[in-house]
């Protein structure tokens, strides 16, 4: 009898681990809620009160982007094609999922973090390139290095740089770039069809929502990485537990994510809480208490220079 109970217990534990690992119900449930909120914001709420509809749509699009990031790292399923299908509609309109996937996975090579050439998500420039820029471009990029700038012009600056880089890659016939953009067309068409045939939200209001959602996401990426002599000291910890941490799916605990990229979003806070000293030692104390602190310190003050301050010594 005891052996039977013990066997059943082992089976129960095995099943629990299997389903939790295989299906990750929290991620699926949140994705369903995200699409529901997006649909609500673009239909019923848009007829009731458009400003509230825009706010809800902004939050849903930002959350969808964070969920897309989860799919890139193998959640909630093991199949990358099934994960991609779950976030197929291009709610942001501008970011092809497959290009986001490829560039982000390249970014996860910690040795190249902040590299002006090899890190696709770096906001630093080679100092020699910076020296060739005119005063207008310097002013734009310097403003973009403040949080206010990142919110106001960051999505436009980032999109121009992203598309220019991909255009050069297409001209050089880099594999996967052109196909990534071609796969993006039907993903945009799905959203366009919704806006034309189903939604009650005006197209202009949706465009505003998509841009604002990208601006919200710029809060997360604003100081995720810093120039540092050692790769391990380049990735931040922001000990925030508010609405932004939720929208970013705990990616504010960024060094934890970089060290454990296969860990799902809902396990990151516990992992950090149980090993806080280890992670802060790992990144040499690159830490902020909250996003409120970041707004206070960097809303109108640049976090660092545009030209990479260590590039002459690191290349």
The confidence band for 21, taking pLDDT boundaries of 50, 70 and 90, is low
Structure confidence at residue 7 (pLDDT): 44
Whether residue 116 is contained in a domain is answered as yes
Q: Which two tokens stand for residue 35?
A: 């699409």
The confidence band for 12, taking pLDDT boundaries of 50, 70 and 90, is very low
- Establish whether the linkage from the previous residue to 76 is cis, with ω within 30° of 0: yes
Percent of the residues in the chain that have a pLDDT greater than 90, as a whole number: 90
* Tens-digit pLDDT profile for residues 168-198: 999 999 999 999 999 999 999 999 999 999 9
Whether residue 1 is contained in a domain is answered as no
Whether residue 10 is contained in a domain is answered as no
Structure confidence at residue 278 (pLDDT): 95
Whether residue 291 is contained in a domain is answered as yes
Q: Does the pLDDT at position 146 exceed 70?
A: yes
Whether residue 4 is contained in a domain is answered as no
Angle of helix 97-107 relative to helix 177-197, nearest 10 degrees, comes to 130
Number of domains the chain contains: 1
More confidently predicted of 271 and 23 = 271
Q: Does the pLDDT at position 11 exceed 60?
A: no
3 state SS for 121-133: CCCCECHHHHHHC
Whether residue 280 is contained in a domain is answered as yes
Whether residue 166 is contained in a domain is answered as yes
Whether residue 13 is contained in a domain is answered as no
pTM value is 0.91
* Tens-digit pLDDT profile for residues 222-252: 999 999 999 999 999 999 999 999 999 999 9
Write out the residue range of the structural domain in which residue 81 sits: 24-314
């Amino acid at each position: 009898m005891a052996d039977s109970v013990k066997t059943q217990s082992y089976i129960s534990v095995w099943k629990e681990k299997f389903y939790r690992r295989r299906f990750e119900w929290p991620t699926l449930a949140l994705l369903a809620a995200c699409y529901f909120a997006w649909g609500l914001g673009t239909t019923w709420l848009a007829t009731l009160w458009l400003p509230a509809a825009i706010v809800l749509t902004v939050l849903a699009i930002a959350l969808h982007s964070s969920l897309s990031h989860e799919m890139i790292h193998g959640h909630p399923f093991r199949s990358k094609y099934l994960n991609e299908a779950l976030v197929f509609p291009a709610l942001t309109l501008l970011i092809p999922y497959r290009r986001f996937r490829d560039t982000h996975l390249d970014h996860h090579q910690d040795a190249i973090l902040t590299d002006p050439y090899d890190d696709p998500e770096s906001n630093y420039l080679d100092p020699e390139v910076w020296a060739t820029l005119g005063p207008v471009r310097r002013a734009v990029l310097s403003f973009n290095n403040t949080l206010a700038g990142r919110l106001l012009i960051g999505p436009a600056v980032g999109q121009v740089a992203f598309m220019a880089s991909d255009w050069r890659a297409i001209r050089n016939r880099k594999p996967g770039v052109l196909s990534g953009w071609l796969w993006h067309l039907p993903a945009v068409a799905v959203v366009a069809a919704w806006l034309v045939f189903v939604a009650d939200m005006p197209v202009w209001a949706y465009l505003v929502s998509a841009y604002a959602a990208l601006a919200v996401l710029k809060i997360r990426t604003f100081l995720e990485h810093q120039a540092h002599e050692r790769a391990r000291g380049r990735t931040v910890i922001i000990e925030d537990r508010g609405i932004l941490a939720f929208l970013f799916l705990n990616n504010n605990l960024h060094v934890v994510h970089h060290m454990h990229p296969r860990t799902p979003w809902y396990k990151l806070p516990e992992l950090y809480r149980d090993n806080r000293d280890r992670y802060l030692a790992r990144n040499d104390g690159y830490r902020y208490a909250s996003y409120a602190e970041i707004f206070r310190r960097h809303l109108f003050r640049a976090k660092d220079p545009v030209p990479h301050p260590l590039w002459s010594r690191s290349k």
